[in-house]
Amino acid sequence: MTMVAMSYWPADTSEPVLETTVGGVLRTAAEAGPDMLAMVAGVPDPNGRRRWTYAELLTEAEQAARALTARFAPGERVAVWAPNLPEWVILEYGAALAGLVLVTVNPALRPAELAYVLNQSGAAGIFLVPEFRSPMAEFLAEVRPAVPALREVVLFTEWADFLATAPARAVLPEVSADDIAQIQYTSGTTGFPKGAELHHRGLTNNARFWAERIAVQPGEVYVNPMPLFHAAGCGMGVLGAAQRLAVHVPVLAFDPALVLELLESERAAFFGGVPTMMIAMLGHPDFDRRDLSCLRVAVSGGAPVPAELVRRVEERLGVQFSIVFGTTECSPLLTVVELDDSAQDRAGTLGLPLPQTEIKIADAATGDLLPVSQAGELCARGYLVMRGYHDAPEATAIAIDAEGWYHTGDVASLDDRGYLRIEGRIKDMIIRGGENIYPREIEDVLFDHPAVAEAAVVGVPDQQWGEVVAAFVRPVPGRPAPAPEELRAYCRERLAPYKTPLYWVFVDAFPMTPSGKIQKFRLREGFTQNQPG
């Protein structure tokens, strides 16, 4: 294994970057395994679980592409606003085959947020469901006068009618691997979303490298509760499965009982989810009565994965756990834990960089390369980096420097073998009296406490120290909440005194982004507003 002295990992070029496109990936799969099962609708009603072979999926995607060419010109943006329907996946492929840019929109958005995404992306059309946890068609009607570029609205409840409008002999355009396939809006853990322009090459190769690393086999089933509007859903899930001729089961919306039932009934080998999903599944009353012996691998990322959660999942499910780490702007994955990594590395690191991915850890202030194992800003370069933020050149210039390095804003370290560890976000770092404190370290300690289900640590203003540590704790349901004094003593045994939280706040739930990340800025704002001042 390569040993490094400075925090730099050169791109592993032993596996090539292919000039693939989202639509081309499906065509290749349909040619290689036309009769193999490709997709199952992950809906609660077993009688409603429609199934597509790869040949059937391609036929419907090409019909959708022809219908799209009758309404849109190549390069136009088309938004999709719905939960994890199978038609969402078919539209993803259809838009790609038609040379369109798919704008993935979170179904939880409220009217003002929807209008912002549609206007900022310049969407010419939108596909949506009339209602899902909110009256979405009503929301769209409310904002439509303020979205002048939007000219086409298609309801997924009228999907068959839409397909019927496809011209029989429409010519689909040539699509390049360098073309933009999607605009995905960043999840907003720190504020206002920006639209990352992701090209076909980045999305397809990244999904292929990931699926290869976790050894997805043809015909195996991947149950995917990650939202399709996120790169983990429509990238890793959809495109990873297709490139390994596996079966993709998009779960309509995360519900622990539904996911557990699908894992059993579809005999899944793999499943993924953010840590909060894993915690909910382990704690669900159905967990022990489901036969999950078919599972081989559990995949998690999108938020810090506590080492204790990895051990818990592996022990209770008899699987190998693979932590993934990435960012929307990198299509999305940078590193993946390999299945034959040691138990310590599986639980305590984010694995090695994927092929063709260049990594460095730099001083956030000077940009200088740091020595191995020293924490600094994680930067990445390679085929996977987005083109830029849509219609936001200043934000793009801040994120991607003149040498092509994408600056993630994450505080990380690289050990001498190339394994990555994340300490937190630069903006989350707490500076108490000149001491740098990384919340992740404290959160991991708290998660190990038997009465703590989840914890989030933030810095809050203090007149003496500048900032001090506040811990927000969700106790394990059904158990007495631990006293602050108990948690304080627990931390003092395991952490330096200055890292031990001064304030303790107990919560029933955390404010979350739709992709499962805790919105720490909202915790901080709420705490500050409630302090006497």
Would you give per-residue pLDDT tens digits along the chain (533 residues)? 566 789 999 999 999 999 999 999 999 999 999 999 999 999 999 999 999 999 999 999 999 999 999 999 999 999 999 999 999 999 999 999 999 999 999 898 889 889 999 999 999 999 999 999 999 999 999 999 999 999 999 999 999 999 999 999 899 999 999 999 999 998 554 456 899 999 999 999 999 999 999 999 999 999 999 999 999 999 999 999 999 999 999 999 999 999 999 999 999 999 999 888 998 999 999 999 999 999 999 999 977 788 999 999 999 999 999 999 999 999 999 999 999 999 999 999 999 999 999 999 999 889 999 999 999 999 999 999 999 999 999 999 999 999 999 999 999 999 999 999 988 778 787 878 877 788 888 998 999 999 999 999 999 988 888 889 999 999 999 888 899 999 999 998 898 888 999 999 999 999 987 767 888 889 999 998 877 65
CATH number for the 8-414 domain, one of 3.90.850.10, 3.40.50.720, 3.40.5.10, 3.40.50.12780?
3.40.50.12780
**Structure confidence at residue 467 (pLDDT):** 87
**Structure confidence at residue 189 (pLDDT):** 44
State the DSSP code for 404: S
Q: Which residues of 412-432 are buried (b: 16+ CB within 10 A; e: fewer)?
A: bbbeeebbbbbbbbbebbbeb
Measured distance CA(123)–CA(279) in Å, rounded = 37
**Structure confidence at residue 532 (pLDDT):** 62
State the DSSP code for 369: B
What are the DSSP calls for 148-197, one per residue?
TT--EEEEGGGHHHHHHT--TTPPPPP--TTSEEEEEE---SSSS--EEE
By the 8 A CB rule, do 308 and 294 touch? no
**Structure confidence at residue 426 (pLDDT):** 80
**Structure confidence at residue 464 (pLDDT):** 81
Domain spans in the chain, listed from the N-terminal domain onward: 8-414, 429-530
By the 8 A CB rule, do 292 and 264 touch? yes
Measured distance CA(68)–CA(63) in Å, rounded = 9
**Structure confidence at residue 253 (pLDDT):** 95
Measured distance CA(230)–CA(224) in Å, rounded = 12
Measured distance CA(447)–CA(370) in Å, rounded = 30
Residues contacting 154, CB < 8 A, separation 6+: 125, 126, 127, 128, 162
By the 8 A CB rule, do 89 and 64 touch? no
Looking at the structure, give the CATH architecture of the domain made up of residues 429-530.
Answer: 2-Layer Sandwich (3.30)
- Beta strands 430-432 and 435-437 are antiparallel
The structure's pTM equals: 0.87
**Structure confidence at residue 340 (pLDDT):** 95
Based on its alpha-carbon atoms, the radius of gyration of the chain, rounded to whole angstroms, reads: 23
Measured distance CA(174)–CA(41) in Å, rounded = 30
**Structure confidence at residue 187 (pLDDT):** 58
Domains 8-414 and 429-530 equal at CATH topology level = no
By the 8 A CB rule, do 378 and 405 touch? no
Cα→Cα distances 134→123, 131, 251, Å:
21, 6, 19
By the 8 A CB rule, do 182 and 200 touch? no
Q: Please measure the distance between the N-terminal and C-terminal CA atoms of the chain and give it in whole angstroms.
A: 56
